[in-house]
Structure 1
Amino acid sequence: MNHIESFYYYICRKSSDAMNSKATEAPITSFTLSELIAMSGGEKRPGLLGECIAANSSSQMEVFRFPGRLDAFVIGVCTEGETTFTSNLKEYRLKKDSLFIIGPKHILQIQSDDRFKAHVIVITPDFLRRINIDTKHMMPLFLQFGSRPCMELTHKECTSLRSFISMVEQELEGPETDFAVEIVGGLIAATIYKVGDILTHYIEEHPELENPMHNRAEEYFKQFTELLGEHYTRERSVGYYARQLCITPKYLTTLIKRISGKSVSEWIDSYVILEAKTLLKYSNMSVQEIAYYLNFPNQSFFGSYFKRNTGMSPSQYKAKQ
C-alpha cells in the first residue's frame, strides 16, 4: 500500500471511529493534511510531503465515506467512472473529464464507488500562502464558482490539467533537493493559474454566467473585492468599505464571512501583506518607503503590522529573499 492509498484508508478509518465513538461529541471529524499523512505510515519526508500531495488514484475513492473536514485546498479531475459527493451538505455529481475544487474545511462526503478514479492535488493553506498566488485576480474567480464546485471540461482541458498535476506528483516522489520547495511551489502555482484559465474560458463560453451573482451577499462580495483591489494601499478600515457600500460594518463583516469564510479584516490584511512582500522582495524601496507607500504613519507601525501577520519583521523577510 503506497502512502496515497494509505492516506485514503486512514481518512476513512478515523472518520468511522469518530462517528461510532460514544465519547465523540462532534459528528464531523476535522483533519490536517500532515495528520493524515502521519497516520498513513507511509514514507515520511520532512517539509513538502506534509504540505501538499498529488496522486493519480487507482484505488477506491473512499476518502470521505463519512462526512469530514480536511484543512486543505483540493483540485482534481475525474478520469474514470462517476460518483456522487456532498460539499457543505449540497449534492453534486462527478463524471469523467470534470473538474472539482474543494476549499479548506468544507464538510465533504464521497459515495463509495470503485469505478470512480481521479487525479488530484491537495495543498495546505499555509503552503498556498507562501507561494504568493495573485489572490487579487484568482480568488474572486474561484469564489465565483464556489456554489458549483464541479464542472465539465473538454477532453483537451482535462488532459492539459492532468499534465500539470503529473509534474507536481513527479517532483514530490523524488528526493527533496535544495530547490524542491521552489520547484513544487512553481508547479502548483502554474496548476492553479491553469485552472484560472479554464474557468475564464468557461465563463466566455457561457455568457449567462458573466453576472452570476444571485443574491445580495454575493453581490456585496463582488463589490467589496473590486473596492479592495482599488483602495487597499490606502484604506485598511472595515468602516471605509462599509461606507462605500452604504451598509454597516457589522453587516458587511457578516456577509463577507458567510460568502468567503474570511472576515473583512482578513481580506484587507491579505491584500496589504501580499503587496508588502512583493515590494520587499522585488523592489529597491526601503522599508520606510514601503511603509509610506502603503499609508502607514511610520516605519514602526508598518513593522508591527507586518510582524503580526507574518511572524517576522520586514527587514527579516527582505534578508531572506
Structure 2
Amino acid sequence: MKTVSLFELISALPHTPWITYEKDFFIVDMTYRPGSRTVLAYPCKFDGIICMYCIEGHFQLSIGLDDYDVRPDGFAISLPGDIVRLEKANGEETGKVRLLGVSGKLLKEMDFDMAKAMNVFSYRMVQASIKYKILIHNFRNIFRSILLEQHVDTGKSLAYVLGAMSIEIENIWSRLAYGPQRKYQDGGRLTDRFLSLVAKHHLEHREIDYYATEIGLTSKYLSTAVKRESGRTAAQWIVSYVLLEAKYYLKQTKMTIKEIAFELHFSNQMELYRYFLRHTGMTPSDYRNRPQ
C-alpha cells in the first residue's frame, strides 16, 4: 500500500486546514454530513503522525488490525506506517472530528523516539478527561500563536511545542490507558520538559524560579538553555501561555474582567490590566471589544 504524505492528505481533504506550516503540520476540523465520505474512508498509510479528536458524532476507526468505537471526546493517534481508516458509524448522522498531522520530516527534527512510541501507544485510543481536553485546547492555541507570528525560528518553536505536547500525550495514555501516570524520566530535551511544566502550571506560577526549581537548575541556566534551544526565552513562553488563556476568556466567555483575573490567579483586576497592557499594548477591554 502506498504511503501517503501529509501534503497529499491535506490536498485530498474537503476542508481547508485552519492551521498549517509548510507541508509538515496541520490542524483541521472536518464535518461529516449525511452521506459524505472523505479520503480517510479508505485505508491509508501515512508517513507521519495523525491525532484524531472526536468533537461530535459516532465514528468507526481502524488502525492496523484493531477497530475502535470513537465517540465524543475520544482521542486517537496513528503512528508512521499505520494503516488507517475512519468513517461515520451511522451515515445519516452529522459528525465532527479535529485532525492534527505532523510529517515524518518534522518528527525527525523533533528526534521523535519511534520505538518508545510503539510501546506507549500500543492501544491507540483513550477517552479524554476534562483536564486533558483543556490541555489539548491550550496547545492548539499555542500552535495558532506561533504560526500567526512566523519568524526565522518558527519551525524550531513549533518542533519544541510538539515535543512538549508529545510528553503530555504520553501522560494521557499512561494515565487513561495504563493506570497510574509514570514520572517524567530524564533524557528528553530540557525545553520539552520546561514547556510540559508550563502547560500545566502557568496559571499558578508565572515566575521562572518555580520551573527552575522543579527541573533542578538555576533560573539563569534555564533561561539561557531554553532561549538557545527554542529561540524564545523562558519568560516569553510563560507569557504566551498566560495571554492565550486571557484572550480565550475575553473573547469566548461573558465573564467580567474581575472574574477573569480571579480565574487566571491574578490578585486583582488591576494586576491583570497592567500585565495584559504591558505584553499586548492594549487593555483587556480594548481587546475584548476589538472586531474578530
TM-score (normalizing by structure 2): 0.51
Does structure 1 residue 118 correspond to structure 2 residue 92? no
Deviation at 1:197, TM superposition (A): 1.9
User: Against the structure 1 CA distance between its residues 166 and 145, is the aligned structure 2 distance closer, same or farther, given a 3 Å change threshold?
Assistant: same
Does structure 1 residue 179 correspond to structure 2 residue 185? no
Give the match for residue 91 of structure 1: 67
- Report the residue type matching 1:33 in the other structure: L
**8 Å contact from structure 1 (residues 80, 117) kept in 2:** yes
Aligned length: 178
Give the match for residue 7 of structure 2: 34
Question: Could you tell me which of 19, 33, 40 is aligned with 1:64?
Answer: 40
Give the match for residue 56 of structure 2: 80
**8 Å contact from structure 1 (residues 77, 158) kept in 2:** no
Does structure 1 residue 157 correspond to structure 2 residue 132? yes
Report sequence identity in percent. 15
**8 Å contact from structure 1 (residues 121, 165) kept in 2:** no
Deviation at 1:131, TM superposition (A): 2.1
User: Against the structure 1 CA distance between its residues 155 and 34, is the aligned structure 2 distance closer, same or farther, given a 3 Å change threshold?
Assistant: same
Deviation at 1:53, TM superposition (A): 0.8
After superposition, what is the alpha-carbon deviation per residue over 1:70-111, rounded to whole angstroms, capped at 9, x for unaligned? 211112322222200111132111111121010112111112
User: Against the structure 1 CA distance between its residues 29 and 65, is the aligned structure 2 distance closer, same or farther, given a 3 Å change threshold?
Assistant: farther
| Secondary structure of the corresponding residue to residue 132 of structure 1 | coil
User: Against the structure 1 CA distance between its residues 40 and 96, is the aligned structure 2 distance closer, same or farther, given a 3 Å change threshold?
Assistant: closer
Deviation at 1:37, TM superposition (A): 3.8
User: Against the structure 1 CA distance between its residues 39 and 176, is the aligned structure 2 distance closer, same or farther, given a 3 Å change threshold?
Assistant: farther
Whole-angstrom distance in 2 between the partners of 1:150 and 1:180: 30
Structure 1: unaligned runs, 5 residues or longer = 1-27, 211-228, 230-280, 283-321
Whole-angstrom distance in 2 between the partners of 1:178 and 1:106: 33
Structure 2: unaligned runs, 5 residues or longer = 188-227, 230-292
Deviation at 1:148, TM superposition (A): 1.9
- Report the residue type matching 2:63 in the other structure: S
**8 Å contact from structure 2 (residues 15, 29) kept in 1:** no
| Secondary structure of the corresponding residue to residue 205 of structure 1 | coil
**8 Å contact from structure 1 (residues 97, 155) kept in 2:** no
Bigger fraction of residues in helix:
1
Give the match for residue 143 of structure 1: 118
Question: Could you tell me which of 167, 178, 182 is aligned with 2:142?
Answer: 167
After superposition, what is the alpha-carbon deviation per residue over 1:287-316, rounded to whole angstroms, capped at 9, x for unaligned? xxxxxxxxxxxxxxxxxxxxxxxxxxxxxx
Q: Which has the larger radius of gyration?
A: 1
Whole-angstrom distance in 1 between the partners of 2:158 and 2:81: 23
Question: Could you tell me which of 170, 179, 201 is aligned with 1:196?
Answer: 170
